[in-house]
Amino acid sequence: MSRTSPSATPTPKQSDLFGAPVVVEAPAPQAAVPIARVQLEGAAAMELDYAIPENLSGEIVVGSRVMVPLQNRRMNAVVLELLKESPHRGRLKEIASIVAKRPMFTPGLLKLARWIAEYYLVSVHTVLRTMLPQAVRDKPGSFVMDSHLKLLREPPPDAFEKLRHKAPMQARVLDILRSCKGEATLSQIRKDVPRAASILPSLIKAGWITRSEVRVERDPFHDEAFLPSQALTFTDEQQAAYTRVAAAIDSTEQTKPILLHGITGSGKTEVYLQAIARVIERGGTALVLVPEIALTPQTIERFKARFSDRSDRIAVLHSHLSDGERHDEWYKIHEDRADIVIGARSAIFAPLERLGIIIVDEEHEPSFKQDEKPRYHARDVAVVRGSIEKCVVLLGSATPSLESFENATSGKYELLKLLSRTDGRTLPLIRIVDMRMERRKGTGTSVANTGILSEKLRTAITSRLEKKEQTILFLNRRGFNTSLACLACGETVQCQDCSIPMTLHKHENRLVCHVCGSRRLPPSKCPSCQEPGLKFAGYGTERVETVVREVFPHARIARVDTDTIQRKNQLRDLLRDFRAQKIDLIIGTQMIAKGLDFPNVTLVGVLNADLALNLPDFRAAERTLQLLVQVAGRAGRGEVKGEVVVQTHAPHSPAVQFSRHNDFEGFAQQELEQRRAFHYPPYTHVVILASRGKHQAMAEFALQTLHKRLLEGLPEDVLMGEPAPCAMAKAHGQFRYQLLLRAAKIRPLCRHIQQVLQATTLPQDVIVTWDVDPVSLL
């Protein structure tokens, strides 16, 4: 055993994608390669060399999970490389055993782990730990087993009649097997015969049935049926886009990532489906990433319907699965029993072989960014994995991130456009309502004057209800009231552990902090001046629901946010009811803003559209435009033209005006000019260093110390600000400070930061974090 410094994983050999399937293989273990460099798991994470014992020389390959001795204990480890020599040959301990016959990581994933570790400044161990679901990491191979029963022969009629009288439960088991075409599992039979297990030995001894142990798949969709669908006829734009994607799939050369910029309703999903069909026809596999759990049920339904002949070879990976389901779905992929994988950001690590295409739908979404170590961006990791695996990477969005759009216009990516909706449908008519003027009118009912529903929106909803059409109301804020302020001193009631106002949740009569989750009763007096005059202000989805139910008492209304969607499959069931027109109007947060397709929705109301415009983040306008365009795109996807009512206090802001005309490129041109002038992405890379601690002075001092040390030897092109409190200065009881660095080249900056961090001893009660290419500065 010897500790070594990390070294680059050798570039795996790649074969032609479809002439010969891409199988990234490790070198065949031979006597000339008796040493394995492994990455230890757990607290003692480090790379060590071990000798491969002769009895395991034919089994251990790159990516194998093994058990190795370390001092007086044994630990799990992953084989990173197979070596011919080690500087400590003769003193190496031997690998104790192999955990699984099949490698847990492909060489391509190991190479990807190296890249992530270097780019995002984390250890390889941290990345490998992230690549495996916890259920697989902690309990590998913990499958559910069941007994498979098979009817060999039936008793003669007279014997069967005797059996019915003497042993009716045995006869019942045989009846069940006959009704199931001679085969069933023990768990199926137990539903009718609870004591079936004690009855089986007699039936087996009589030679009537056989029993064998089988693995039971915990399939999250076992109780669902999907109606088969057929490929749709392309429009001219779709055909042109598909032809180019198909050419990239067929090519044996590495191709550029492709950005598919298609307006809402332009048929991007159909291009995805037919591209995947082409990959599968050629023996490849496909990976589809979606940003929101809300999109997953609809995406799965579309894919299961289209690939109905192989629906059992579609795997799903996302956080709403149980541990057992996630375990079994991962092994389904690992054992090469899945051709298509659909999931959220962590699905980018699915151990697919023969990967032919990676699709990132709604690639602009910030939820593709991991918010804890390793803080990777799944879209960027997809591009790198595509390069490693030599497969097509297809990024799709109606409102691409400015980083991807600039890459496409500069030639780094290939740009394809879908600028028309399918079937000749037109984009919805967007109306802007200035809520400042609405308040000045002072007319209408008391409800109308709350500043929630404008007269125009209220009239539009009434019209849709009369026509039996559906409406979506969007507000990206939960709760009833968003703040409680003192009329005497002006102070707002804030969370004691976080520097944000607490939100009233009326159904439980509690003030709730949406950062740390703490709850408290609303005070009767101001905590600061003890005066009794307190006033609630602002509104969230809970209050909107109350108002809408008051104004439209006969409408069937549902609310979709994290307060109402708590049990498994609840969101899926609610969206299905909405599609079946059992609900007239849905009120929701961003869970319903993107990707969903409901043909009977003809009206979308956006409440408080400028909610995020004033956030201290250079992406505030971009995020606002993307959200407005995406939520507006839910309207008019059927035969009836849609309408969107956008309520705002900033009607003249560029984000609102460009979204009104669905002019993403016009907005991008203006915004990119500003980004270039002020040295922000996509023309620079950003790194945020942050410190947090219970003692404000120590948290600030730690970051100031790092700032001074970073100045020494700082690369010339780096722009570094001063340490400052975060926009949310306190969260979870800890004070927070941050330091912003920008550079045209990220590698030299990351190396410099890493050197400074390794050479600096920080106070024990201060935690320093770093985020490369953050999607939010808050």
Q: Are 465 and 603 in contact (CB under 8 A)?
A: no
More confident residue, 224 or 500: 500
Q: Are 604 and 587 in contact (CB under 8 A)?
A: no
* Average pLDDT for 287-315: 84
User: At 381, is the pLDDT very low, low, confident or very high (cuts 50, 70, 90)?
Assistant: very high
What mean pLDDT value characterizes the chain?
86
Q: State residue 223's pLDDT score.
A: 65
Collapsing DSSP to helix, strand or coil, 81 comes out as strand
Q: State residue 33's pLDDT score.
A: 60
| Range scoring the smallest mean pLDDT among 35-44, 236-245, 752-761 | 35-44
Q: Rounded CA gap, 162 and 152, in Å?
A: 19
| Range scoring the smallest mean pLDDT among 267-271, 279-283, 437-441, 537-541 | 437-441
Q: Which residues on adjacent β-strands are paired with residue 216?
A: 144
Q: Residue 198 contacts by C-beta under 8 Å, 6 or more apart in sequence? A: none
DSSP string, 224-241: -------PPPPPHHHHHH
Q: State residue 701's pLDDT score.
A: 94
Confidence check: pLDDT of 148 > 90: no
Confidence check: pLDDT of 24 > 60: no
Q: State residue 32's pLDDT score.
A: 47
Q: Rounded CA gap, 508 and 504, in Å?
A: 9
Q: Rounded CA gap, 633 and 433, in Å?
A: 18
Q: State residue 691's pLDDT score.
A: 96
> Which pLDDT tens digit goes with each residue over 739-750?
999 999 999 999
Q: State residue 21's pLDDT score.
A: 40
* Average pLDDT for 76-81: 91
> Which pLDDT tens digit goes with each residue over 298-309?
788 889 899 988
Q: State residue 44's pLDDT score.
A: 64
> Which pLDDT tens digit goes with each residue over 86-139?
877 778 889 999 988 889 899 899 999 999 999 999 999 999 999 998 888 877
168: left (phi over 0), alpha (psi -120 to 50) or beta: alpha
Q: Rounded CA gap, 737 and 732, in Å?
A: 14
> Which pLDDT tens digit goes with each residue over 157-189?
777 777 788 888 888 888 888 888 788 888 888
> Which pLDDT tens digit goes with each residue over 703-724?
999 999 999 999 988 999 999 9
Q: Residue 520 contacts by C-beta under 8 Å, 6 or more apart in sequence? A: 502, 510, 511
User: If you ran DSSP here, which 8-state letter would residue 481 be given?
Assistant: B
What separation in angstroms does the CA of 48 have from each of 7, 39, 404, 476, 704? Answer: 12, 7, 39, 49, 36
Burial class (CB in 10 A: 0-12, 13-18, 19+), 768: buried
Q: State residue 480's pLDDT score.
A: 86
User: At 43, is the pLDDT very low, low, confident or very high (cuts 50, 70, 90)?
Assistant: low
* Average pLDDT for 332-357: 94
* Average pLDDT for 40-55: 84
- Which backbone phi and psi does 285 adopt, to 5 degrees? -125, 165
> Which pLDDT tens digit goes with each residue over 404-424?
999 999 999 999 999 998 877
More confident residue, 310 or 87: 310
Q: Rounded CA gap, 271 and 278, in Å?
A: 11
Q: Looking at 585-661, which runs of residues are DSSP E strands? A: 585-588, 601-606, 643-648
> Which pLDDT tens digit goes with each residue over 500-531?
899 999 888 899 999 998 999 988 888 888 88
Q: Rounded CA gap, 280 and 354, in Å?
A: 10
Q: And the tokens for 729?
A: 């200065």
Confidence check: pLDDT of 79 > 60: yes
> Which pLDDT tens digit goes with each residue over 573-614?
888 898 899 999 999 887 777 667 788 999 999 998 887 788
Q: And the tokens for 591?
A: 């869970």
> By percentage, how much of the chain surpasses pLDDT 70?
93
Q: Letter for the amino acid at 430?
A: I
Q: Rounded CA gap, 605 and 709, in Å?
A: 51
More confident residue, 142 or 325: 325
Confidence check: pLDDT of 548 > 90: yes
* Gap between the terminal Cα atoms of the chain: 45
DSSP string, 14-41: ---TTTTT----PPPP-TT--EEEEEE-
Q: Are 662 and 419 in contact (CB under 8 A)?
A: no
Confidence check: pLDDT of 447 > 70: no
Q: Rounded CA gap, 253 and 247, in Å?
A: 11
Confidence check: pLDDT of 533 > 50: yes
* Average pLDDT for 430-444: 77
User: At 630, is the pLDDT very low, low, confident or very high (cuts 50, 70, 90)?
Assistant: confident
User: At 283, is the pLDDT very low, low, confident or very high (cuts 50, 70, 90)?
Assistant: very high
Closest alpha carbon to 763 in 679, 712, 706 = 706
More confident residue, 717 or 29: 717
> Which pLDDT tens digit goes with each residue over 643-681?
999 999 889 999 999 999 889 999 999 999 999 999 999
